[in-house]
């Protein structure tokens, strides 16, 4: 068995603790990867991501593309013979990458930011605004134009932003959640 010392061990332990998943019990069977819809688009396949955690290679795993290409489909979680919730670990890794600023430049992180910013401001998602801001932020404002035109023609894009009465409550959730997560993980 591989015995890690120092920072590597600490990282593996923290991920285990935070995710509630016994990361060290993974025996690298590869079943998670076999069913993963995004594996062929990843730099490290799901079982390799878990291996990187086991090895304590924090920088590598938090900077990888794999955790951002993951679709959160839970196939890995459903099938792991060790009952390791791999998708949950992916969540934890994304959140840690964010706290270290290693999410910058990842398209899925940008998408999540824009999505959640819309929710924070209106209480619900404004699809049109998300699409427009995505186009501008990625420098490809016309990429989705054909679909947007189709949606507008079918009146399937709401023009005015939604607004709920409890929008302040929603903002409070965002604020408090960020503060608590920050405090918990330093």
Q: Which does 30 bind (CB under 5 to 8 A by kind): ligand SF4, other proteins, none?
A: ligand SF4
Is residue 92 part of the contact set for ligand SF4 (CB under 6 A)? no
Q: Does 73 bind ligand SF4 (CB under 6 A)?
A: yes
- Which run of H or of E encompasses 167? helix 167-185
Is 27 or 41 the residue whose CB approaches other proteins more closely?
Answer: 41
Residues 6+ apart with CB under 8 A from 122: 161, 162, 163, 164, 167
Rounded CA separation 62/52 (Å): 10
74 binds ligand SF4 (CB under 6 A): yes
Which entry of ligand SF4, other proteins, none binds 58, CB below 5 to 8 A by partner kind? none
d(CA 44, CA 69): 10
Q: Does 2 bind ligand SF4 (CB under 6 A)?
A: no
Write out the binding residues for ligand SF4, residues 22-51 only, by CB under 6 A: 26-32, 35-38, 46-47, 50
Would you tell me which residues interact with ligand SF4 (CB under 6 A)? Answer: 26-32, 35-38, 46-47, 50, 70-76, 80-82, 84, 86-87, 90
């Amino acid at each position: 068995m591989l015995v890690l010392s120092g920072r590597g061990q600490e990282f593996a332990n923290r991920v285990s603790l935070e995710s509630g998943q016994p990361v060290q019990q993974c025996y690298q069977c590869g079943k998670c990867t076999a069913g993963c819809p995004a594996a062929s688009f990843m730099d490290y396949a799901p079982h390799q991501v878990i291996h990187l955690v086991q090895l304590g290679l924090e920088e590598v795993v938090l900077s990888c593309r794999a955790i951002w290409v993951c679709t959160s489909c839970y196939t890995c979680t459903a099938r792991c013979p060790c009952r390791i919730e791999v998708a949950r670990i992916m969540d934890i890794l994304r959140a840690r990458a964010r706290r270290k600023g290693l999410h910058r430049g990842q398209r899925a992180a940008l998408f999540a930011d824009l999505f959640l910013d819309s929710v924070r401001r209106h209480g619900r998602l404004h699809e049109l605004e998300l699409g427009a801001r995505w186009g501008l932020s990625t420098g490809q404002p016309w990429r989705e134009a054909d679909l947007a035109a189709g949606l507008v023609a079918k009146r399937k894009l709401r023009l005015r932003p939604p607004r709920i009465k409890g929008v302040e409550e929603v903002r409070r959730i965002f604020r408090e959640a960020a503060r608590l997560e920050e405090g918990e993980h330093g």
